[in-house]
Structure 1
């Protein structure tokens, strides 16, 4: 994603769960985003946080037990600000141009970023097709990045038993 003058960044469940994508290039790009932005404030709607939980809770208990320590430490380390939908977000969602094919959840996420004057970083293919239409939507930079610091790096390696289809998150 090219440099954007906006200082706030929204992320979604596809980016977060993309660190566990079955597709290696997506997994690397998503993990690189989080290693590069580990100490940067990012925003995530309650709905997107819940979507991540919904994906994980549908998996076998052993997979959950391997995944959740990483997620817990990452959420404790990285300043992820969780936010509800506001009346302004609902109004902005209703006024979005040309969003055919997006779910209500995706429209509300996009409206949340727009209302905040933020950019949205995602690997959701439905949202990425809106990039370049005057909306600050883009994919994470696919450049290689460092790894997580310990103990997060070890927890991440263990959590990789979880694999998801990022396009379905």
Structure 2
């Protein structure tokens, strides 16, 4: 893995900022605090999973969540990327990944093919031997606000929405 490579995150990390589990939420917030001024990468598919989770919520919760998400995506250097043919081929050929959803296979293949550091809360991905060299530990928890003042205020408002593990079902 190349030092200084842009890390990949998945929907579990992004949505983890609103997770009902305080440990998951703290790890996601520490990640975003540490990487706020740096680049991170999310696949179009993982961004779509985040959207699918939010669109299942009530209109009211969408309205309190989206201002935070909108400003975060504008202010933070989150690179968005599709999949190349090499990633598609690897995702289809890895027999050890047969039990994974297509979205998880593509994500794993993207990380391995491009040799990128990877942050996830997803146990099924953390258990893959091919991903172990790329898995990163989350930065230490923070006690101060994770974001600049305006964005922190929007985050606090958006916390009305809470993500449960079940929210990830039926969107992958």
What stretches of structure 2 of length at least 5 have no aligned partner? none
Aligned length in residues? 167
1:127 Cα offset (Å): 0.7
2:50 and 2:97 mapped to 1: Cα distance?
23
TM-score normalised to structure 2 length: 0.88
Which residue number corresponds to residue 153 of structure 1? 152
1:56 and 1:34 mapped to 2: Cα distance?
19
Which residue number corresponds to residue 57 of structure 1? 55
TM-score normalised to structure 1 length: 0.89
1:77 and 1:61 mapped to 2: Cα distance?
24
Matched, 1:164 2:163: yes
Question: 1:139–1:166: structure 2 CA closer, same or farther, 3 Å change rule?
Answer: farther
CA contact (8 A) 1:8 1:117 kept: no
Measured on the aligned residues, the alpha-carbon RMSD in Å equals 2.2
1:18 to 16, 19, 24: 16
Matches within 5 A, 1:5-44: 5=3, 7-44=5-42
2:147 and 2:77 mapped to 1: Cα distance?
15
What stretches of structure 1 of length at least 5 have no aligned partner? none
Question: 1:97–1:135: structure 2 CA closer, same or farther, 3 Å change rule?
Answer: farther
